[in-house]
Amino acid sequence: MYVKRYYSFWMTIRWSKYSLIYGVLYSSVIIILYEITKIPFSLPWEPISVIGIAVAFFLGFKNNSSYDRTWEARKIWGAIVNDSRIFATGILSFPNSDLPFESKRKIVHRHLAWVLALKHTMRREKTWEHNLPVHKLQFIPRFIKEYSDGMNVEIEKYLSQEELENLKNLSNIPSQLLKNQSNEIGLLNKQQFISDHKLVRLHEIVGDLYANQGMSERIKNFPFPRQYASTGLWITYIFCGLIPFGLLDIFAESSALHYWLTIPFSAIIIWTFFVVDRIGDYSENPFEGGYNDVPISSISRAIEIDLLEMLEEENIPAPYEIENGFLM
Amino acid sequence: MYVKRYYSFWMTIRWSKYSLIYGVLYSSVIIILYEITKIPFSLPWEPISVIGIAVAFFLGFKNNSSYDRTWEARKIWGAIVNDSRIFATGILSFPNSDLPFESKRKIVHRHLAWVLALKHTMRREKTWEHNLPVHKLQFIPRFIKEYSDGMNVEIEKYLSQEELENLKNLSNIPSQLLKNQSNEIGLLNKQQFISDHKLVRLHEIVGDLYANQGMSERIKNFPFPRQYASTGLWITYIFCGLIPFGLLDIFAESSALHYWLTIPFSAIIIWTFFVVDRIGDYSENPFEGGYNDVPISSISRAIEIDLLEMLEEENIPAPYEIENGFLM
Amino acid sequence: MYVKRYYSFWMTIRWSKYSLIYGVLYSSVIIILYEITKIPFSLPWEPISVIGIAVAFFLGFKNNSSYDRTWEARKIWGAIVNDSRIFATGILSFPNSDLPFESKRKIVHRHLAWVLALKHTMRREKTWEHNLPVHKLQFIPRFIKEYSDGMNVEIEKYLSQEELENLKNLSNIPSQLLKNQSNEIGLLNKQQFISDHKLVRLHEIVGDLYANQGMSERIKNFPFPRQYASTGLWITYIFCGLIPFGLLDIFAESSALHYWLTIPFSAIIIWTFFVVDRIGDYSENPFEGGYNDVPISSISRAIEIDLLEMLEEENIPAPYEIENGFLM
Amino acid sequence: MYVKRYYSFWMTIRWSKYSLIYGVLYSSVIIILYEITKIPFSLPWEPISVIGIAVAFFLGFKNNSSYDRTWEARKIWGAIVNDSRIFATGILSFPNSDLPFESKRKIVHRHLAWVLALKHTMRREKTWEHNLPVHKLQFIPRFIKEYSDGMNVEIEKYLSQEELENLKNLSNIPSQLLKNQSNEIGLLNKQQFISDHKLVRLHEIVGDLYANQGMSERIKNFPFPRQYASTGLWITYIFCGLIPFGLLDIFAESSALHYWLTIPFSAIIIWTFFVVDRIGDYSENPFEGGYNDVPISSISRAIEIDLLEMLEEENIPAPYEIENGFLM
Amino acid sequence: MYVKRYYSFWMTIRWSKYSLIYGVLYSSVIIILYEITKIPFSLPWEPISVIGIAVAFFLGFKNNSSYDRTWEARKIWGAIVNDSRIFATGILSFPNSDLPFESKRKIVHRHLAWVLALKHTMRREKTWEHNLPVHKLQFIPRFIKEYSDGMNVEIEKYLSQEELENLKNLSNIPSQLLKNQSNEIGLLNKQQFISDHKLVRLHEIVGDLYANQGMSERIKNFPFPRQYASTGLWITYIFCGLIPFGLLDIFAESSALHYWLTIPFSAIIIWTFFVVDRIGDYSENPFEGGYNDVPISSISRAIEIDLLEMLEEENIPAPYEIENGFLM
């Protein structure tokens, strides 16, 4: 995500340059045709403005939904932070005094492996996402490295070699990691390190973690319905396609205003509507590995720091840094 | 659901062709009558545009509600994923060591039967749904087969013959399957394989599954209120019915613009409003067995894979594949 | 609720005929006065259209809120379905083997009495509801009978004569029925048929049932705030009252359009706005015993069927049938 | 709250008379100045209508938020009803048989004291509320009496003299009453009348009551942010201030329409926008002791009746009556 | 937050003076250029008004979201109030009689340290916030002092010197304080002052406190997405940049209206739209240490008072006072 106060005007223009360029080209073609043929193919503006209002409604709805998806994604990863802390304090304070500290440490480490595994699962490509090649994310070189290195580099420091090996052939690694947690807690109960009551409480927290994982997967795997996205796009095209005809009508009628003004003015209106459409489009998928993603790398790192400090470990990794205004 | 980035323009046109065709025909009739009779039956545009804004509001409300229904449906099935995992880990890790593994396996299998039975119940026809004959879903042949084969083929591999037989005469099979789970867990408690504390936790998870089932049934059995849907449709008809009269007024007044332009321009506006209306209409019922359904077949399959891997079984079914851009 | 795809156009017209008739009469009076007096009392359209947009906003807000009330009502009764199933499975599977089945059956039956008592409480008349005399609901004769027969006929089959007698003088029968459940469960605990742990779980479910009842009562007893409803109505009246003056201005100015067209055109716009207002008004109170009610009779019946099947009883009542497109 | 179907037109006018009077006066001043000076200080209508649309959006947002505050307040007091019933059934059915009934009764009575104390706390004046002097609420004389009598008269019948005395110097009486409940339940546990399991369940319900109290205090103590309320008011003033200038432009241009019509027409538009603004303003604070309050007096009374009937007491107070269409 | 009924008109103007000044300057430049060059560079108003409507939609969405952030922040701190009371009553009433009161007092005091530490953490500067230098908050001198004194002054009275020392090098002090609570409760359980059942309940409350902390951190650390904020700003600039051209078109055409009126009228419209934009911008970050913040200082103080009264302590601090209409 971007963390400065505003994207600069030039960043905005650069990001949306195609809308502007095509807007200029398209209106130019129409005006040149009009200049050449002298056929008065303009259209009245009033009905076009009614389409414009309908489009504005639809884009409002689309932006709202996209924002809700991003915000829900952030809420879910906020809940992952909370439940990670809750799980760790439970593991640290519940068992009998005779359980060796190393056993607790192992469970907390496996939890960190789960967090990092989930982070990487969230970044797999989906057919409806923008899927910008990761090496093009030039402003965030450290993210490129993390992404290219992949899941194993990050989780292997928190898991035994054997457990890592067993996970390899399974479909959903985070889901099976939580199953391992549940089994280990069940074993602590059978070995009488924790009572039934404490077991059930820990299983409830594992349940909350499953819920968080599932909700994050839901946002990832279920796009903003493509029928709505497509309709929004096509009616925006239609509205923008009609704009130069409508403006031509107004400019051509007026003696004072020259009809060549249709070109820049059309381009501005087209750009305004497209930038409002695109802003939703680029915020729809909060885990697609792009600049506007929910910053799950830095969130995961914050969880690592917090839990390792609870374990009073020595080598605490540093927090993620902002790169060129972006925090991933 | 459709999983490509956008429905192509031609798919959109094909899907909404009737709005376009009727729009052209209707405005043609009016213009031809005008041409023949020369009666100036046009209407002023300004009041029509106020109706247009009211219609845009209403359609915005309708689309919002339809989207919420789809999104809630997806949330519910996401919760079914989560609670299935939680239930399975509870069954696997709670009981005493002397409970044979086969007993645990039987309960997890019955759970998969519940998931699949619920999936099929969700696809029964309702009087307010589109009820497209299933064989017409030409792009998704595998779905046609699954639908035609019906519930029994899928659940019989996870249930004993006897239990299957007992279920046959009951009204709500998923509901009675969960009752069987509850009874079996109660029996494990009476046989002292699980303590009261663990029993209550498992009964709470069964309660969550009941809640998920009930919420899914609620979306299925309670339509977007027909009084709202009908009002939306009728006022859209009225607005679209007035459009050619209003455009005729504008075109006929202007010397430059020829009134025959009323036909294509009316058709475009009519199409725009109807496509916005229809998109909500086709997203209202997320389980009607159509192209825009929430993909409960692939979700159910993902649950099967996850839980069978937890049981460390051999024959894991393959995930659902995307067919021609659709995932069901 | 209506369960067909759309209310037919004529049903819609008949339901909203007063708006149409008064619209025609009112504009006719104005045009006739204009014709007689020749005073140019028209008003400019542009400011009227700004009022129109403000009214459209307000009606949008009102319809949204009405819909939310209906939808929340349906959610609550969906939760009643779920919690009924959860309660029944708890009662059936928790107690020791030495509790006679008849005791469990009695509790489940009392639960059904609670459901049916709550249904009838929901249908008492409120000063802000439409309070159409029930015998006028001509399309749903079976509902008329159920309504006229009243609560006792339905609940007496599920309660002992003594308990029924004791309830008679109490203010809130469903609330006291749940107190009886709570006391009976407390007694089972004191008699050691269920442990403290199971008792608490069952009391939690009773708590959920109390919450459902209370939420249903909240929707019933707290109307859409009358200050909002009244404001919506008065500004719609003002807007519609101004319409013929504004249209007269437009029609009278134009040479081609005859000002008598003001009458039908005014009537259409008035009707459109009123029908949008009325649709919210008729969906505001989801339990008023009207055609658009949330179908709590059929929901209650579905609970009866489900729970009686769990008890493996013989005489299972039939599901509610759709009468002339309505399910109550 | 008002419980009739609609506020009559004259009640609405009387309530909003200042908007109407000032609207008439203001536009008259402008028209008279115009008449005297003959300076054409009119302004074009189109840009004013864009401001009007922006204002309509803002008022829509404000009304939505006000309504949400009222509705949330009602939900919270609905939850107080539910949790009161749940708490009472727990107190009545959990303890061992040897706990004297009088002890249970004392706890339930203290709960009623909490409900009534909270009700009175909710009605303290806040700097942002309307703070109409209570004796001016002429339509609801019984409410005036209850308000003037104050908290002590109502809670002293449910508390021992000693407890009442101890509470006097504390800042938040309802909060300390719940602490007393928690301590008393803790004592029952130490005296072995209730097990740990039951204690924890009762403490959870006390926790829910604390949550309800805190949420009610939140609505009371945190106004609709004054920066939004102020912005809404100022831009409505600006828009309304411009209206007569814009209408003058239209009326003065037209030969048929006389510019004196600006006065009544301006007044109508100004009144429409102000009444939409005021309706939100008067629904913002649901506990300010005004006509549109959430009816917490009658809700509290209903709780008293329900719980006293559960205790099978003799002297049950009567429900609140509707006074002149208002239920408080 | 501001607690008077309305910001005065002059406070509003002063706060938004730049929008007004730049609006006047910008339109003056354009009119002077027009006066000098006589080039008719005006633009038609109708298309500009369509942009205006789109901008109004976008600002509506932005204001809604900002308000939701503020309101959620208030809800979270309301939940902190509730859970603080619940935690304290649990600590006071659960342990065996032989636990010295001093031990309970220590835990409640540590809880107050957590509240105050969280308050100070919430006020650290973020790159996207306004970051007004704190000494400029001239109306609230006591807040300036509290802010400058920092966290340690406030928390050291509630923590032992040793614990305070240990916290110093940790990244997230509130998070580690809750870990200390969890460990201490675990110790009470190992020392048999509280049963497993009570331990689990207290750990659940600690979990709720973690959730509150995490949600508060989420609001603080995740801004309203900058891509939306930036788009909103740029399209408002574009719309406002076009306004004088559009008004010039209207004024220049009319004989009666002089085109110099473009300047004040443009300024008013520009100011209206910018003030609507800015009001959202200033409510986006509810913890930035500004005038419109959620009042977490007074909320924290109320918690201190409530809990110290529960401990029956002598030196209860006074509630926060309103300074010049602001409560922080």
In angstroms, the CA E251 to CA A2 distance is 43
Q: What integer pLDDT is reported at residue B29 of this predicted model?
A: 94
In angstroms, the CA A299 to CA C246 distance is 59
CB contact, 8 Å: E179 with chain A? yes
Asked if D202 and D94 count as a contact pair (C-beta separation under 8 A), the reply is yes
Indicate whether C166 pLDDT > 90: yes
Which of B200, B205, B273, B278 is the best mutation test for C, with the most CBs of C within 10 A? Answer: B200
Looking at per-residue pLDDT, the higher value among B99 and C255 belongs to B99
Q: What integer pLDDT is reported at residue D118 of this predicted model?
A: 97
Summary mean pLDDT of chain D: 93
Chain E residues with CB under 8 Å of A326 CB are none
Rounded to the nearest angstrom, the minimum Cα separation between B314 and chain C is 33
How distant, in Å, are the alpha carbons of A62, A291, D24, E218 from that of A75?
Answer: 20, 19, 51, 7
Indicate whether E105 pLDDT > 80: yes
From the list C293, A127, D34, D62, the residue with the least C-alpha distance to B323 is A127
Is C49 within 8 Å of D45 when comparing Cβ atoms? no
Asked if E279 and D228 count as a contact pair (C-beta separation under 8 A), the reply is yes
Report B:82-101 residues touching A (Cβ under 8 A): 82, 85-86, 88-90, 92-94, 96-97
Residue type for position D105 = R
Is E74 within 8 Å of D222 when comparing Cβ atoms? yes
Scored b (16 or more CB within 10 A) or e, B180-206 reads bbbebbbebbeeebbbbbbbbbbbbbb
Q: What integer pLDDT is reported at residue D260 of this predicted model?
A: 83
Is D78 within 8 Å of C213 when comparing Cβ atoms? no
Residue type for position E268 = I
Query: Residue written as tokens 């002054």?
Result: E153
CB contact, 8 Å: C235 with chain B? no
In angstroms, the CA A204 to CA B286 distance is 31
CB contact, 8 Å: C61 with chain D? yes
| Average pLDDT value for residue range E218-244 | 94
Q: What integer pLDDT is reported at residue A177 of this predicted model?
A: 97
From the list D76, D84, D70, D62, the residue with the least C-alpha distance to D217 is D76
Chains that touch D (3 or more CB pairs under 8 A): C, E
Indicate whether D204 pLDDT > 90: yes
Helix axes A173-190, B45-93, angle to 10 degrees: 40
- Tell me if residue E106 falls in helix, strand or coil: helix
Is D93 within 8 Å of C128 when comparing Cβ atoms? no
Asked if E88 and D175 count as a contact pair (C-beta separation under 8 A), the reply is no
Asked if C219 and C68 count as a contact pair (C-beta separation under 8 A), the reply is no
Asked if A260 and A278 count as a contact pair (C-beta separation under 8 A), the reply is no
Residue type for position D181 = Q
Report A:194-223 residues touching E (Cβ under 8 A): 195, 197-198, 200-201, 205
Rounded to the nearest angstrom, the minimum Cα separation between B131 and chain C is 11
In angstroms, the CA C310 to CA C291 distance is 32
In angstroms, the CA D256 to CA C42 distance is 9
Chain B residues with CB under 8 Å of C251 CB are 44
Is A186 within 8 Å of B92 when comparing Cβ atoms? yes
Q: What integer pLDDT is reported at residue D72 of this predicted model?
A: 97
From the list E247, E243, E25, the residue with the least C-alpha distance to D43 is E247
CB contact, 8 Å: E269 with chain D? yes
Query: Which chain D residue's Cα is nearest to C197?
Result: D197
In angstroms, the CA E76 to CA E210 distance is 11
Percent above pLDDT 70 for chain B: 99
Indicate whether E84 pLDDT > 80: yes
**pLDDT-derived band of residue B44, with 50, 70 and 90 as boundaries?**
confident
DSSP code for E323: B
Report the length, in residues, of chain C.
328
In angstroms, the CA A159 to CA B140 distance is 42
- How does pLDDT run across A196-242, given as a tens digit for each residue? 999 999 999 999 999 999 999 999 999 999 999 999 999 999 999 99
Helix axes D196-221, C196-221, angle to 10 degrees: 30
Chain B residues with CB under 8 Å of C283 CB are 225, 227-228
Nearest to D234 among E3, E9, E70 (CB): E9
**What six digits make up the tokens of A175?**
């889901």
Q: What integer pLDDT is reported at residue D248 of this predicted model?
A: 87
Query: Residue written as tokens 């300076």?
Result: D39
Which of D193, D277, D279 is the best mutation test for C, with the most CBs of C within 10 A? Answer: D279
Distance between alpha carbon C75 and the CA centroid of its chain, in Å? 12
**pLDDT-derived band of residue C73, with 50, 70 and 90 as boundaries?**
very high
Query: Which chain D residue's Cα is nearest to C167?
Result: D309
Indicate whether E257 pLDDT > 70: no
**What six digits make up the tokens of B142?**
């595998």
Q: First and final CA of chain D: distance in angstroms?
A: 6
In angstroms, the CA A37 to CA A31 distance is 10
Phi-psi region of E38 (alpha: psi -120 to 50; beta: other; left: phi over 0): left
From the list D59, B229, B245, the residue with the least C-alpha distance to C58 is D59
Q: What integer pLDDT is reported at residue D120 of this predicted model?
A: 96
In angstroms, the CA B72 to CA B66 distance is 10
- E287's CB contacts (< 8 A; 6+ apart) are E73, E122, E123, E216, E219, E220, E293, E294, E296
DSSP code for A284: S
Asked if B289 and B281 count as a contact pair (C-beta separation under 8 A), the reply is no
Chains that touch A (3 or more CB pairs under 8 A): B, E
Indicate whether E258 pLDDT > 80: no
Which of D17, D55, D71 is the best mutation test for C, with the most CBs of C within 10 A? Answer: D71
**What six digits make up the tokens of C61?**
């807000």
In angstroms, the CA A178 to CA A212 distance is 12
- Tell me if residue B148 falls in helix, strand or coil: helix
From the list A159, E60, A281, A220, the residue with the least C-alpha distance to C60 is E60
Indicate whether E256 pLDDT > 70: no
Which of E199, E222, E253 is the best mutation test for A, with the most CBs of A within 10 A? Answer: E222
Asked if D249 and D44 count as a contact pair (C-beta separation under 8 A), the reply is yes
Chain D residues with CB under 8 Å of E3 CB are 126-128, 223, 226
DSSP code for C255: S
**What six digits make up the tokens of B63?**
């689309």
Chain C residues with CB under 8 Å of B206 CB are 86, 89
Query: Which chain A residue's Cα is nearest to E216?
Result: A78
Distance between alpha carbon E204 and the CA centroid of its chain, in Å? 28
In angstroms, the CA B167 to CA B172 distance is 9
How would DSSP label each residue in E267-285? HHHHHHHHHHHHHHHTTS-
Please tell me the number of Cα atoms within 13 Å of D140 on its side-chain side: 25
From the list D89, D76, D79, D75, the residue with the least C-alpha distance to D202 is D89
Please tell me the number of Cα atoms within 13 Å of B10 on its side-chain side: 0
Query: Residue written as tokens 């809880």?
Result: E111
Chain C residues with CB under 8 Å of B200 CB are 197-198, 200-201
Query: Within 10 A of D72 (CB to CB), how many other CB atoms are there?
Result: 18
CA dihedral B205, B208, B214, B216 (to 10 degrees): -110
Query: Residue written as tokens 């928690």?
Result: D182
In angstroms, the CA D145 to CA A149 distance is 74
- How does pLDDT run across C267-299, given as a tens digit for each residue? 999 999 999 999 999 899 999 988 999 999 999
Q: What integer pLDDT is reported at residue B77 of this predicted model?
A: 98
Looking at per-residue pLDDT, the higher value among B257 and C69 belongs to C69
**What six digits make up the tokens of A171?**
């479909």
**What six digits make up the tokens of E132?**
């007004």
**Strand ranges, E, within C44-110:** none
Q: What integer pLDDT is reported at residue A76 of this predicted model?
A: 98
Chain C residues with CB under 8 Å of D23 CB are none
% helix, strand, coil for chain B, step of 5: 70, 0, 25
- A24's CB contacts (< 8 A; 6+ apart) are A263, A264, A267
In angstroms, the CA A265 to CA A26 distance is 12
**Range list of H helices, chain B:** 9-15, 17-37, 45-93, 101-121, 141-149, 151-155, 161-167, 173-190, 196-221, 226-253, 262-281, 296-310
Q: How many CB pairs under 8 A join A and E?
A: 191
Nearest to C203 among D195, D201, D283 (CB): D201
- A97's CB contacts (< 8 A; 6+ apart) are E190
- E292's CB contacts (< 8 A; 6+ apart) are D225, D227, E1, E2, E70, E282, E283, E286
Q: How many CB pairs under 8 A join A and B?
A: 192
- How does pLDDT run across B105-129, given as a tens digit for each residue? 999 999 999 999 999 999 999 999 9
Domain ranges in chain E are 9-310
Percent above pLDDT 90 for chain E: 79
Task: Return contacts of D68-74, CB within 8 angstroms, 24+ apart.
Answer: D69/D219, D69/D224, D69/D283, D69/D284, D69/D285, D69/D286, D70/C225, D70/D283, D70/D286, D70/D292, D70/D294, D72/D215, D72/D219, D73/D216, D73/D219, D73/D286, D73/D287, D73/D294, D74/C218, D74/C222, D74/D286, D74/D294
Is E257 within 8 Å of D40 when comparing Cβ atoms? yes
Summary mean pLDDT of chain A: 93
Chains that touch E (3 or more CB pairs under 8 A): A, D
Is C171 within 8 Å of D309 when comparing Cβ atoms? yes
- How does pLDDT run across C184-229, given as a tens digit for each residue? 999 999 999 999 999 999 999 999 999 999 999 999 999 999 999 9
Nearest to C75 among B40, B50, B218 (CB): B218
In angstroms, the CA C181 to CA E298 distance is 45
Is A183 within 8 Å of B78 when comparing Cβ atoms? no
Nearest to B86 among A172, A199, A210 (CB): A210
Residue type for position C247 = L
Please tell me the number of Cα atoms within 13 Å of B312 on its side-chain side: 8
